[in-house]
Structure 1
Amino acid sequence: MAVPALLGAVLLVYFVVPFVVFFLQIGSVDIVDGLADPGTQAAIRTSLVTAPVSTVIATVFGVPLAYVLSRTSFRGKRLVEAAVLLPLVLPPIVGGVMLLTLVGRYTPVGAAAASLGVPLTDSYAGVVLAQTFVAAPFLVVTARAGFDGVDKRLEEAARTMGYGPFETIRLVSLPLARNAITAGIVLTFVRAIGEFGATMMVAYNPRTMPTRIEVLRISHGLEAIVPIALALLVITIVVVVAVQFLVGTPRRH
């Protein structure tokens, strides 16, 4: 185990050192004044409103898609799988450009939505659209892996006991894939709240935390981003810890 441990330690150090250096800079920055800035507070509110909405949307539509991909075979399945993975391999800013070709102000969809009073760019809706586009694939991929790990014989046994398809999914498949689905939800939320590229293209305003960080970096330098970056880090850690506490960690069998 010495060689794998050594190689893994190198990557672990690479993960940890930037955090250490970041926290060493906190002492020289006025965190309270930075967080009291109205623009920063507005960005925090925007992220805390939109990221959960994007995560819920990804969960409601992504878990069923993950189950279908895990349990069925159909013509064109490879294309569907590729479509799910496509937002993961595209640079986020390119994904934002593609979204603009669909929901931009002067597109048929965007113009129709704007006429109804629901603009899809430079709005909360635009932020949610961008976050969902880049973050939802994490949920689908992770949840599918969880469903793939559920023994189909257990589902078949439930069916022989008189459970219908939906009851089987609710009472057997979902509980057994719970940890993977939960991991997907966490990854989706973290990715959504940290999304920058696609969000900047689709909804530069209202500014999210990552967009605000970029604005502060350009206008005031690296030290200015420390307060809001710390807030973003704390929110992410709190969510991950809370989910672990509520759901628990996977048990070894």
Structure 2
Amino acid sequence: MAIPALLAAVLLAYFVVPFALFFGQVGSADVLDGLGEPATRDAIGTSLVTASISTAIATVLGVPLAYVLSRATFRGKRLVEAAVLLPLVLPPIVGGVMLLTVAGRHTPIGAAAAALGVPLTDSYAGVILAQTFVAAPFLVVTARAGFDDVDPRLEEAARTLGHGRIETARRVSLPLARNAIAAGIVLTFVRAIGEFGATTMVAYNPRTMPTRIEVLRISRGLEAIVPIALALLAITVVVVGLVHLLVGRSGRY
């Protein structure tokens, strides 16, 4: 295990050292005063609300898609799989530009939504559109891996007992894949709450935490971003911890 442990330690150090050095160099920043600024509080609230909604949308739509990709065989399946992966390989800014071609104010969909009083750009809806576009693939890919690991024979046994496909998925497939789905939810949320590129293209306002960080960096320097960066890190740690706790509890029953 010496060689794998050494290689793992190198990568772990690569992850941790930049955090330690960054916060060590700008440790004199006043965190409480920074978090007390109204614009920063608004950005934190916006990110929490929009990332939660984006994650919920990705879960409701992505888990069924993951199940279909895992269990069904149909013409064009490879194209669907490629479509799911596209937002992962595109630079987020390019993804934002693509969203503007669909939901921009001068597009048919964007104009119709604006006429109804629900603009899809520079709004909460725009933030959610951008976050969902870049983050939902993480849930689909991870949940599909979980469904792939479920033994199809268990589902066949449930079917022989008279359960339909939906009931079988609810009673057998979803519980057995819950850890992978939970991991996908975590990845989706943290990706959504940290999204910057697509969000700045579709909805620079209202400000999210990443856009607020960029504004502070440009206007005040690195020290000014420490409070909101710490808040972003703390939210991520809390979410990961809660999901692991809930999954662990559900696994004991």
Q: What residue in structure 1 maps to residue 70 of structure 2?
A: 70
Instruction: Report SS of the residue matched to 2:191.
Output: helix
Q: What residue in structure 2 maps to residue 236 of structure 1?
A: 236
CA distance in 1, matches of 2:132, 2:91: 15
Q: What residue in structure 1 maps to residue 149 of structure 2?
A: 149
The Cα shift of 1:249 comes to 8.8
Instruction: Report SS of the residue matched to 1:162.
Output: coil
Check whether the contact 2:26–2:222 (CA below 8 A) recurs between aligned residues: no
Q: What residue in structure 1 maps to residue 45 of structure 2?
A: 45
Runs of 4+ in 1 over 6 A off after TM superposition: none
Higher mean displacement: 124-133 or 6-15: 6-15
Q: What residue in structure 2 maps to residue 95 of structure 1?
A: 95
Which consecutive unaligned segments of at least 5 residues does structure 2 have?
A: none
Instruction: Report SS of the residue matched to 1:122.
Output: coil
TM-score by length of 2: 0.97
- 1:40-73 deviations in whole A, cap 9, x for unaligned? 1110010011000000000000000000000011
- 1:126-164 deviations in whole A, cap 9, x for unaligned? 000000000000000000000000000000000001111
Amino acid of the structure 2 residue aligned with 1:139: L
- Percentage of identical aligned residues: 81
Higher mean displacement: 25-34 or 3-12: 25-34
The Cα shift of 1:227 comes to 0.4
Q: What residue in structure 1 maps to residue 220 of structure 2?
A: 220
Amino acid of the structure 1 residue aligned with 2:131: Q
Check whether the contact 1:110–1:120 (CA below 8 A) recurs between aligned residues: yes
The Cα shift of 1:248 comes to 1.7
Is 1:4 matched with 2:10? no
CA distance in 2, matches of 1:65, 1:246: 24
Instruction: Report SS of the residue matched to 1:248.
Output: helix
Q: What residue in structure 2 maps to residue 80 of structure 1?
A: 80
CA distance in 2, matches of 1:243, 1:235: 12
Superposition map of 1:130-209 within 5 A:
130-209=130-209
Which consecutive unaligned segments of at least 5 residues does structure 1 have?
A: none
CA distance in 2, matches of 1:117, 1:236: 33
Q: What residue in structure 2 maps to residue 211 of structure 1?
A: 211
Compute the RMSD of aligned alpha carbons: 1.3
Amino acid of the structure 2 residue aligned with 1:66: A
Instruction: Give aligned pairs, total.
Output: 251
CA distance in 2, matches of 1:220, 1:26: 13
Amino acid of the structure 2 residue aligned with 1:9: A
CA distance in 2, matches of 1:40, 1:22: 20
TM-score by length of 1: 0.97
The Cα shift of 1:22 comes to 3.0
Higher mean displacement: 13-22 or 221-230: 13-22
Check whether the contact 1:119–1:125 (CA below 8 A) recurs between aligned residues: yes
CA distance in 2, matches of 1:100, 1:24: 40
Amino acid of the structure 1 residue aligned with 2:48: L
Check whether the contact 1:179–1:250 (CA below 8 A) recurs between aligned residues: no
